[in-house]
Amino acid sequence: MIEAQYFPPVTQPGSRLHGNWFPANGFKGWKQINVKGKLASKSFGDLQVLNVAWHATPTPQPTPKRRNGARSPGDAPIERLPVELLTAIINLLVLDIPPNGLERRNIDLMSLLLTSKTLHTATLSSLYNRITIPHSRIFQKFLSHVNSHPSLGTIVRRIDFSHFNPSTLFSTASERSQARNLTSETLRQCLELTPLLQEFLAQEYIDDDLDAAVLRKLFFGLDRLQALDFCGCSSALFKTAFAEVVSNKDDWPVALTVKRLSLHKCMTLPATVLDTLMPRLTRLTHLDVAGTRITDDALWSIPATARITHLNLAKCKLLSAPRVIEFIRSHPAVAESLEFLSLATDARSHELFDEQHLNELIPILPKTLKSLSLKGSKMNASHIDLLLPLTKHLEELALGRSLKLRDVQRLFIPQARPGTPGSDGDVDMTGEDAEIAAQLAWVPHTVRYLDLSDMWGGELDASTLFNDSVLLQSVTEPLGVVEFSADVFKKVRKSTGALARYRWRVSEIHVRSWLVREGGDNEDDNGARHWKMGARYWGMRKVPVAKAEVGGMYGSYMFGRTI
C-alpha cells in the first residue's frame, strides 16, 4: 500500500513551505475522518489533531460465539482433515454393487453433497470416480450431467457395465433400441467426455453397442486406459467391429497402455484379433483369454517386458500342451510373477494335458502361485507327490480326473510307508518310526479351496467321504471349501448328520456346489486376498481386471459357471 507522499515545488525543490501532499490509497476523504466524534472535517489543520494519520484504524471483528457447542461453517473437525483422508472416508460409502431394480442409489453420497462446501467438493470426487451403470437410464443421466459440466468428466476413472441389465427397464430389445439411452453413439460421446478414464468394464449385454469407433477410442484415444474387460462379448456385430479395427494395422501403435485385459468367453473373435493385440501389450499383468481362439504363436508373441501375475487359458482349444509348458518354463513374462494360473478344460470335449504332460508341467510351476487349476487334465497318483511342494504356498487348487480320494488326502496329512528313508538315510525304518519321521518332516499346507468336481459319482461317494477319508476332519485345516460335481453333491448334501458332526455346511451358486467348513481356523477369514482384487469367494473362473466387489454378470462368470 502506498503511504502519504510530499511533492516539493518544481521551481523550489528545497522548499518545505510550498508543494503538495499526495494522500495514501486508504484515504477516505475529509468527510470520513473522525475528529473528536465529528465527521465534519474541512480544514488542513485537522490533520495535526490526527497526527497526520491518513488511514482509518480497522475495527476488530468480534469472534463469533458458539451456540451450544456448534461450530462456524467450514470449521468442523472432519472438514479440517487433509483431502486424502477425507476422500478415503467418503469412499467407504461408495457401493460397488448397486441396489436391485430402480431403487435409489448413493443416497448417503447425495446427502453429503448438501452438507457443506468442503464435503461437496470431496464427495464429487468419490461420486464420479467410479461410475457403475446398472441400466440405461442411469447412463443417460450420467451422460447428461457430464455433458453439461465437462469438468466432472475429468474425475471419472472407471466406467463399469458389469451390473448392466437391459430388462430392468425394457422387456424387449426393440423397446431398448427405441429409447436410445445407450447406443454406440452415446457410448462414444461418453468416452470423449472422460479423457482420463483408466478402466472400462463391458459385458455381453452391451456388445452390440461396441462398434468400431468405440473400440478405436478405447485402444487409441485414451492415453491413461489400463484395464479393459469384454467378458462374454460374442455377438456378430462385436466380432465384425473388432475385425474391422484390426484390419488396418497402420492404425495400431507399437505399444498399448492396457495392463489388464479380459476377453473371457469372447468365443467368436477371430484369431487375427489376438495376433494383433498380444505383441502390443508391453506392460501386461492380467490376461484372461478363456474360451477364445488364441494360438500358440499369439501366446508367445506377448512381449518379454510384460509381467503377468494372472493368466487364464481355460478352454483354449487351439493351444498345444508342449508350447504352453515351454511358455511357462521360459517366457520372461511369466517365469517369476505368476500368482493365478488356470489351464482348465472340459474333459468331456477336450483334453490339453495328459499324464506325461503333467509330469513336465507341475515341477516347473513357480513358487509365486496362489491359485492353480488343472481341471480336465488326466492325472494319476504319482502327480500328488509332484503337487505336494506347491501346496505349501497354493491357496486354491483344482485337480483333474482319474484320481482317488485316498490319493487326494495325501496333500493334507503326512503319509509314511514302510521302507521310507529317515533323515539319516536309514531305509530299514518301518511302522511307527516311519510315521514319526514323516510327521517331523511335514510342512503344513496352505490350501483353503479344493476343487474335486472332476471326480464323478463312480470315483467319489458319500460313504467314502465321511467314513474312509480324513478330508473333512479338522486335521486338514486350513482347508475350508471343497467343490464337488453336481451328481456327487446330491448324495453328499443328504448326509445332514455327518455334515453337522464334522461342522460343514452346503453352499450353491447356479450350477456350482461346495461344502464350507464352519468355525475352525477360517472363522475370521473373509476370503479377501490381494490377488483376488476385491473378490471374496474361493474358486474364481474369471480373472478380475479392476479392484472391486464382484457381482452382476462378472459374479456369474466368476463363481456361477463350471469353467
Lookup: cell for 294: 488364441
Phi, psi of 224, deg, nearest 5: -110, 10
DSSP state of 4: P
137 assigned to some structural domain: yes
CA-wise closest residue to 136 among 161, 110, 105, 100: 161
The whole-angstrom separation of Cα 498 and Cα 430 is 34
210 and 169, same domain (yes or no): yes
- H-state helical runs in 369-502: 382-387, 405-408, 431-441, 462-467, 486-492, 496-502
Please list the pLDDT of the chain residue by residue as tens digits (563 residues). 456 666 677 667 777 666 666 666 666 555 555 555 555 555 544 544 455 444 455 566 665 555 666 666 667 888 888 888 888 888 888 877 776 655 666 777 778 888 888 888 888 888 899 999 998 889 999 999 999 999 999 999 999 999 998 876 665 666 666 667 899 999 999 999 999 999 999 999 999 999 999 999 999 999 999 999 999 999 999 999 999 999 988 889 999 999 999 999 999 999 999 999 999 999 999 999 999 999 999 999 999 999 999 999 999 999 999 999 999 999 999 988 999 999 999 988 999 999 999 999 999 999 999 999 999 999 999 999 999 999 999 999 999 999 999 999 999 988 765 554 544 555 556 666 666 776 667 889 999 999 999 998 677 888 889 988 899 999 999 999 999 999 999 999 999 999 999 999 999 999 999 999 998 777 788 899 999 999 999 999 999 999 998 989 999 999 999 98
Strands 449-451 and 227-231: unpaired
120 and 235, same domain (yes or no): no
Residue range of the domain that includes 89: 79-96+105-129
CA-wise closest residue to 361 among 330, 392, 332: 330
204 and 122, same domain (yes or no): no
125 and 41, same domain (yes or no): no
Interhelix angle 212-220/184-192, rounded to 10 degrees, is 20
* DSSP code per residue over 133-183: -SSHHHHHHHHHHHHH-HHHHTT--EEE-TT--GGGT-SSHHHHHHH-SS-
Output the pLDDT for position 19. Answer: 67
148 and 274, same domain (yes or no): yes
Q: How many alpha carbons lie under 13 Å from residue 38 in its C-beta half-sphere?
A: 6
* DSSP code per residue over 316-358: -TT--HHHHHHHHHH-TTTTTT-SEEE----TTT--S--HHHH
CA-wise closest residue to 54 among 90, 21, 86, 8: 21
6 and 149, same domain (yes or no): no
Omega of the bond leading into 99 within 30 degrees of 0 (cis): no
SS3 call for 195: coil
124 and 146, same domain (yes or no): no
The domain total for the chain is 3
Phi, psi of 6, deg, nearest 5: -105, 130
Q: Provide the CA 94 distance to its chain's centre, in angstroms.
A: 14
324 and 276, same domain (yes or no): yes
155 and 119, same domain (yes or no): no
244 assigned to some structural domain: yes
CA-wise closest residue to 284 among 323, 337, 247, 222: 337
Q: Biggest alpha carbon distance in the chain?
A: 127
Lookup: cell for 343: 489351464
For the chain, first and last CA: distance in Å?
77
138 and 266, same domain (yes or no): yes
